[in-house]
Structure 1
Amino acid sequence: MKLLIVEDEAPVRKHMKWMLEDSGIELWEAENGREALDVLEHKAIDIMLTDIRMPIIDGIELIQQCKLLYPRLWSIVLSNYAEFDLAQLALRYGAKNYLLKATVSKESLVSELNRAYENSRNESLEKGRLDSNELLMVQNSLFYEWLHQRINTAELIKRSMKLNVQVFQFEETQSMFTFLEVDRFTDWCASKFNCQADLAIYAFMNVAVEVIKQFHPKNELFHLENARFILLDFGECNREKHDEKMKGVQLALQQFLKLEASLITGYEFTTMDSFIEKVRHSVNDMTQLFYCMPACLISPNEQESTSKDIDLYSFFQNIEVENENNYTMNSNLPMWIESFFDLVRYLKRQPSTVKEDLKFLITFIEKKGYSVTEDLKTEISRKQAYRLNDYKIIFEQWLNDYHYMGTHRKEIVEALNYIHEHYSNKFTVDDICNHINISRSHFSKLFKEHQGVSVIEYVEGVRMKQARVLLRTTPLTISEIADRIGVQDIFYFSKLYKKYYKVNPSKDRSML
């Protein structure tokens, strides 16, 4: 085998040559595309391993010229993770595969070159043989046809055997799969791939496939639609181990592509028929990711079902403040908004209906005497949110710009935001002070001056308001409600509730 290494960095060339010592491969090297073309003119090279970013003639142009001048030359791209858009472009122009500088090892390099050499020798004899890029497209096309019941399992197996697509031929006793959704894929596609979705999908899949194949060589990934995928984890039956692998996938995507991904893990299957039936039955589970934070990893059974719908007008009636003496009017507004988003998250209504619910929220706010800017209404109308929290952030920004910043110090704004974001968890006044970088004594005095109540009283009030909303609008038990608002002791919760509303929670619910 005759190999040409084209790389402008001498240390990289030296490292590649070191890895190929004693491999029996004849080596030539070039610093750029022009030198590579000179070598190719005088030597019968079998395989060219080329970098992309090089002076004079870069890797893309070199591959284009080689496709015309040396059509039988087998080109492999040597790429960084940050160059996936260019790597995919090189594949379009004729490169057969790519290797990642950050992960390539001596064994994997020799293995890839031997495989490439064998494929290049057999390419003319084996018409219809699939390269790695074609294989990825074919197996996803077969999966899509199978998922939508355009072919049955027998036909799928028949076609996959004919095309030598191995993923549909397995004998594992038990395996698992995970649903994966790329967070903010459209933004990433626009910034990295000039809105070329196919190219972005392909770049993503190549990284994800490489990661999951580290766990099992037969592991694969299928693209559903709208940047949603299925990851196959063959032979895995341990849920904890499966989740650890999926966390590794999340970490790799964030590290190498600067992408966050949300996952629903742990779907079990034993046969291909059970796999496809589980996918068809469970694919709608992915809508629940709308109500999660980005980069989450959840189980199917973690999601709650709602036994009833709620009339939103009745909901807003129930969140009126019973004790006006404890809170200023501006303190009510963020609580109304917080309560609304908590309820929508609890109900898990179809994401397509949320914009209409938000319009109802805006109407309610305006009826209470607040001036909602046209900018807010327009942004909500145009926003294509990936998560419910994306909408909430818009309202929080509006609160800061139009209702807090004008009358509150920056430290108080940050403290109120921290309280509203963390009220459902256990935290202390010191936690707030550390967050806003202010001493406890100064903060306590400042907070009392601005809010009219102590920090502890304010936090208790926030929690009790949320508790009453949940009690009056959901079938959650008293214990579940206490836990949701960050009060683990149900007896203390009942005592606090009675202090605020002059009635214990169970009796308050029975009065509805």
Structure 2
Amino acid sequence: MKPMYQVFIAEDEPAALQHLCNIIRIKCQNFQVVGTAENGQEALEQLESFHPDILITDVKMPVMDGIMLAKRVKERYPDLLTVIISGYQDFSYAQSALRFGVCDYILKPVKPSVLQESLRILKGRLDEYYYKMRNRIIHEMCAGNFTENPGFQQIFPEEEYYTALLRKNSLPRRFLESQGVEFFSGMEEQMIVYGRDEMETLYICPKKLLFHNSFYQVVQNLLEKEKKTKTMSFYTLILTEKPVSAKELFPTIRRLIYILDHRLIIGKNQTIEIGLQGEKKEQKTETQMQEEKLILERLRILVRKHDFQAAEKEIEKLFRLWEIQEYSQLCVEQKVRELFQIFKNENVENELQENAEYLLDDLFYYTENMQKLKENISQILCRNKEEQQKGKIDTPDFFEKIENYMKEQLALPLSAQKICTIFGISQTYLSKLFRKYSTESFNRHLATLRIEKAKEIMEDNPDLFIKAIAAMVGFSDQFYFSRIFHSITGMSPAEYMKNHKGISCDAKS
């Protein structure tokens, strides 16, 4: 959050103006006076240059009085908080002020304690306002549709920032973006943390927060914590070697995401420092290109003959070749689509005829390594008939069995692959079940179940520490738990415990 909120004062009496400035300077440590004016018209002209958070204005001033100024401010700057100072204890003045969105009405002579309390209350509103704005800006940066606004410098007041992007497992979905749990760091956290879904973390760290520590080491420590969550089969970590200015954050974050998209290799752990390595481009030797071409030709012939057992062996050769060559996930996705086109051209029926992109999205999202991916692709292309005969498991009762198992095992590490192994189904089939019987993806549904269980525990055990509650529902990191909790419920665990009826107000963290 920004360290200091800016106040503009409109007051025509020099002594009264000095009195207000002194109160704010001495008594209100989170505020600073950035400008003053002797009348409402002058104040209105200067507000555009200063972009203050709070306007304090006297009612009775020449040229334009405080009530008219408040009206103009509401029209031009609806987010600016206004406080009226008046020597009149007149209800009509107060009523007019409230109509124009004035936050407080303070009588002269102004007591320091009264102004202090008024600004304290407004600070809470500003904290929440800038927190939401910060989250919106970070979301827009990652989505690629950010446009700088006057509040940007207030959100990122430091001169320089380090950035890092950690991705657990595969790339985010592209066709089911709303299926993940987007999360943000808390209002009081100094390092800004954001995830497009629960498998990703973007770190934005003010340089001064490091003191003499290495950002690389700080991020490595965070990576070790993530490994302990047991939700990671492989990772891709990308970080900036040097800090960047606030204005460079947007292009830097976009570059981090670009490198992630083009360098993530399924099943391989990677740490990439921007600045130390050039942009890696996938290169194929003539021999490998020829080998891939021959395999695809043999595959076409086998598919035409409906010899799926032999076709599966050729698919295995292709995956082995792609793994040795360390193709990026995006490249493998393109190759897999070519495979499906071969089967489609030969009029082979498979699960991909319906909702093809959504199924592939799920398949890549949950894959742990190239071997698992190959097995799932082969299952769809070459062994689909076998699973079609298992129609008896495509029932609400079977889905309920899976959901009940998840509820019983919430405290333990759970993954889509583990569920598939336990219930003897493929990843594709699990995705189809969740699409048919749930409005959420597997990961989103698991997160929802965990948070609902956490709420039950809070209600039944109000004296438990949040860290203990997090562990009871499968979160080894209480801060990560708090972010997911806030993302799903709209409030922090402490706020939930405080606001929910029957739960102690002294939430333990």
Mark yes or no: TM-score above 0.5: no
TM-score, reference length from structure 1: 0.35
TM-score, reference length from structure 2: 0.36
Higher relative contact order (Cα pairs below 8 Å, separated by 6+ residues): 2
